[in-house]
Amino acid sequence: MTGMAEKPDGAKDKPNRQGAWTLYLIECRDGSIYTGIAVDVAARYAAHAAGKGARYTRAHPPARLLASIEYPDHSSALKAEYRVKQLSAAAKRVFVSTLPTRPSEGPSAP
């Protein structure tokens, strides 16, 4: 293993120097919410917007970034992503509304 995480869509995210990963939620144009993790959320969002991100966002183009929460490592980000993905869209919106103004300040995922 090379230390890089292989995503289902073939994209690879390289861990940054600190090992921090970010959970992010995107509101799609149809009102649905996509949840993912990345080391560079801006680059990942750009890939989604360009139609080169996940299969889901190719069919449901992104409208805006709802939230991003930084985690210290890949494992904790994956666990938080799993927990958030278990929520309904309505529950995800409630979760986002409970985040601080600057949502990337702490790992407060359900």
Domain annotation covers residue 23: yes
DSSP result, 1-50: --S-EEPTTS-EE---TT--EEEEEEEETTS-EEEEEES-HHHHHHHHHT
Of residues 37 and 103, more confidently modeled: 37
Residue 73: which domain range?
Answer: 17-105
Domain annotation covers residue 11: no
Q: What are 61-94's pLDDT values in tens digits?
A: 999 999 999 999 999 999 999 999 999 999 999 9
Model-level pTM? 0.76
> How crowded is residue 52: how many other Cβ atoms within 10 Å of its Cβ?
13
Total structural domains within the chain:
1
Domain annotation covers residue 44: yes
For residue 60, pLDDT over 90 is answered with yes
Domain annotation covers residue 2: no
| pLDDT value for 7 | 39
